[in-house]
């Protein structure tokens, strides 16, 4: 997998289009309609994972501290349907965690995770915070990974 970290102004139209298309396939077509572009993309880092043919297979964004939470936040975590079950999601999250720890050393990382993925995120060091809640009609939980 070829990883590329970019800030929003540096994405360019092709990377932005590919990221939004993958996000739309997963978050809108698979999970139900909601407004994916939420304005937070503009103040985030974007991680794009392309395979050897150049096809976008994985994506996440890291939101700067102070925008959504006091801590940096990882969100919009997705892998293409074709790659699920391959371990790519774990690799993707490891890249995101590494970026957060390098950019904001000594800070925790907060996420809003789909509730059914809490065990997966727990295996990466995130702990449940508070009670489940609905976000875009999908049960979510807030999770925090303490500083390293």
> Does position 30 have pLDDT exceeding 90, yes or no?
no
* Domains along the sequence of the chain with CATH: 2-145 (3.40.630.30)
Question: Furthest-apart CA pair in the chain: how many Å?
Answer: 42
User: What is the Cβ-side half-sphere exposure of residue 38, based on CA atoms within 13 angstroms?
Assistant: 15
- The pLDDT-based confidence of 39 (bands split at 50, 70, 90) is confident
- Alpha-carbon separation of residue 110 from 2, 53, 99 (angstroms): 26, 33, 14
pLDDT tens sequence across 102-116: 999 999 999 999 999
The DSSP bridge partners found for residue 143 are 111, 128
Query: How many angstroms separate the CA atoms of 145 and 127, rounded?
Result: 6
pTM of the model: 0.86
């Amino acid at each position: 997998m070829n990883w590329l970290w970019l800030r929003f102004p540096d994405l360019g139209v092709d990377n932005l289009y590919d990221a939004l298309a993958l996000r739309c396939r997963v978050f809108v077509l698979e999970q139900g309609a909601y407004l994916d572009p939420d304005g937070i993309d503009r103040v985030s880092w974007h991680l794009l994972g392309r395979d050897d043919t150049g096809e976008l297979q994985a994506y996440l964004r890291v939101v700067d501290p102070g925008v959504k939470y006091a801590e940096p936040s990882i969100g919009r975590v997705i892998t293409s349907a074709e790659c699920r079950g391959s371990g790519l999601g774990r690799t993707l999250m490891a890249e995101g965690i590494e970026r957060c720890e390098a950019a904001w050393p000594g800070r925790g990382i907060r996420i809003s995770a789909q509730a059914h993925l809490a065990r997966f995120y727990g295996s990466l060091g995130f702990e449940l915070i508070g009670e489940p809640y609905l976000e875009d009609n999908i049960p979510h939980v807030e999770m925090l990974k303490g500083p390293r």
